């Protein structure tokens, strides 16, 4: 179950990076969003295919990094999109990961 949540999170992060590029012409958003999304999708596949712990750790680290990045931005100026949405999704994924640590 948690692997599917991580996969959906990864897809949403990647789409957010593409949208950031399309709206603001931000190559940083595109690179970071696609990079994080691919890492999350890959970790999800690893979790599903028998390397649960490896995928779990990758998903945990990427989620913490995204939470930190958007959390710091929210401290300066809070915007629901994309910052608030990434913070909420990161917290949900982190909670699910922590609850399913020892699978």
Per-residue pLDDT of the chain (103 residues; tens, 9 = 90+): 899 999 999 999 999 999 999 999 989 999 999 999 999 999 999 999 999 999 999 999 999 999 999 988 888 887 777 788 999 999 999 999 999 986 6
CB distance 6 to 44 below 8 Å: yes
CATH topology of domain 2-99: de novo design (two linked rop proteins) (1.20.1440)
CB distance 40 to 60 below 8 Å: no
- The structural domains of the chain, with segments of one domain joined by +, span 2-99
Provide the H-helix boundaries in 1-103. 2-24, 27-48, 52-76, 85-99
Rounded Cα distance between 38 and 34, Å, is: 6
Tokens read off for 63: 């989620």
CB distance 40 to 81 below 8 Å: no
């Amino acid at each position: 179950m948690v692997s599917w949540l991580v996969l959906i999170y990864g897809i949403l992060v990647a789409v957010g990076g593409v949208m950031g590029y399309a709206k603001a012409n931000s190559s940083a958003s595109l690179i970071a969003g696609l990079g994080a999304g691919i890492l999350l999708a890959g970790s999800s596949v690893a979790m599903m295919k028998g390397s649960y712990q490896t995928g779990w750790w990758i998903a945990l680290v990427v989620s913490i990094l995204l939470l930190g990045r958007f959390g710091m931005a929210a401290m300066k100026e809070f915007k629901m999109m994309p910052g608030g949405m990434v913070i909420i999704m990161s917290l949900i994924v982190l909670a699910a990961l922590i609850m399913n640590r020892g699978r």
